Chains A and B, each alone.
Chain A
Amino acid sequence: MERIPILKMGPYLLVTIQVDMHDRLAMTLQDDLTERISKTGSRGVLIDISALQMVDSFIGRMFANMAAIARVLDAEIVVVGMQPAVAITLVELGLSLPGIRTALDVERGMAMLGKSLAASTLPTPGDDGSGEGDAGPAE
Chain B
Amino acid sequence: MPVQRSEVLPIRAEDDVVRVRQGAREFCVAAGFSLVDQTKMVTAASEIARNTLIYGGGGSVTIELHAEGLRHGVRLRFVDTGPGIADLEQALRDGYTSGRGLGLGLGGARRLVNEFQIDSRPGDGTKVSLTRWK
Which A residues contact B (CB, under 8 angstroms)? 20-24, 53-58, 61, 84-86, 88-89, 92-95
Contacts and interface: CB of A to CB of B under 8 A. Distances in A.
A24 to B, nearest CB: 5
Interface in B95-111: 95-97, 101, 103, 105, 107-108, 111
Given A22-B17, A22-B18, A54 B39 contact: yes
Contact of A53 (B42, B111, B112): B42
B21 A85 contact: no
B35 A85 contact: yes
Contact of B108 (A20, A53, A88, A94): A94
A23 B21 CA distance: 13
Say what secondary structure dominates the interface of chain B. Answer: helix
Contact of A22 (B14, B35, B43, B95): B14
A56 B47 contact: yes
A53 to B, nearest CB: 7
B63 to A, nearest CB: 16
Say what secondary structure dominates the interface of chain A. Answer: helix
Contact of B107 (A88, A89, A94): A94
The 8 closest A-B pairs by CB, nearest first: A85-B39, A93-B108, A56-B46, A22-B14, A94-B96, A85-B36, A85-B35, A94-B95
A89 B33 CA distance: 14
A84 B40 CA distance: 12
Contacts of B111: 92-94
A88 B39 contact: yes
Interface of B: 14-15, 17-18, 21-22, 25, 35-36, 38-40, 42-43, 46-47, 50, 95-97, 101, 103, 105, 107-108, 111-112
22 contacts: A20-B18, A20-B22, A23-B17, A23-B50, A24-B14, A54-B39, A54-B43, A55-B43, A56-B47, A56-B50, A57-B103, A58-B46, A58-B50, A85-B36, A89-B36, A89-B39, A89-B40, A92-B112, A93-B95, A93-B112, A94-B96, A94-B97
A69 B15 CA distance: 27
